[in-house]
């Protein structure tokens, strides 16, 4: 982190019926000399903020891509959706035309948002495209759905939706 940088944390709060609440969020930082840095981890995202999930739809697909602009090693993936999230899949589409499913979460659960760490990093050559497909259930069969009778769009609140495929990578050597 360069001197003078600002760190921004995005926290999502939902009203719980209590006026006075305390935020217990914190960040821990370790400082070391640049010469001691062994690996620099970068973040990538595939996100689509421009979707509209129809009312009553039980299997609505939303797509997003992330192009790989230099040779990378993929370390982990974290799918992010809200209450209507049903499933999430990451697929690598390689420059040679081949493809590989990197992560398939067939039963996404908003209450258990997990970071999926790979046992072995996956090489992503320059020119690879990571495609993420999120499936949403905006029907009344989804017991977590706050309102199956409305169109749903991107928003910070849990009763709205998000579609983000987070990833962490390191440069391939």
CB 89 within 8 A of CB 100: no
Find the range with the poorest average confidence among 13-17, 78-82, 139-143: 13-17
| pTM of the entire predicted model | 0.88
State the Cα angle at 46 between 40 and 51, rounded to 5°: 155
**DSSP-assigned letters across all residues of 38-67:** ----EEEEEE-----BPTT-SSEEEEEEEE
DSSP tally for the chain: helices H, then strands E: 0, 8
CB 79 within 8 A of CB 45: no
Give per-residue burial for 105-117: e unless 16+ CB within 10 Å, then b: beebeeeeeeeee
Q: What is the pLDDT of residues 38-93, one digit of tens each?
A: 888 999 999 999 999 999 999 999 999 999 999 999 999 999 999 999 999 999 99
Query: Measured between alpha carbons, how far is 140 from 56 in angstroms, rounded to an integer?
Result: 7
């Amino acid at each position: 982190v360069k001197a003078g940088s600002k760190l921004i944390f995005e926290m999502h709060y939902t009203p719980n019926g209590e006026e006075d609440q305390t935020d217990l969020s914190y960040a821990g930082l370790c400082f070391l000399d640049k010469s001691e840095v062994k690996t620099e981890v970068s973040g990538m995202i595939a996100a689509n903020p421009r979707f509209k999930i129809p009312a009553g739809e039980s299997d609505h697909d939303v797509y997003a891509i992330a192009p790989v602009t230099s040779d990378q090693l993929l370390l982990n993936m974290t799918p992010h959706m809200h209450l209507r999230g049903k499933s999430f899949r990451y697929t690598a589409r390689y420059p040679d035309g081949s493809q590989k499913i990197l992560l398939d979460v067939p039963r996404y659960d908003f209450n258990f948002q997990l970071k999926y760490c790979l046992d072995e990093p996956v090489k992503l050559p320059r020119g690879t495209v990571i495609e993420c497909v999120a499936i949403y259930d905006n029907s009344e069969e989804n017991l977590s759905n706050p309102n199956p009778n409305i169109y749903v769009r991107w928003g910070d609140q849990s009763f709205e939706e998000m579609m983000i495929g987070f990833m962490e990578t390191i440069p391939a050597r």
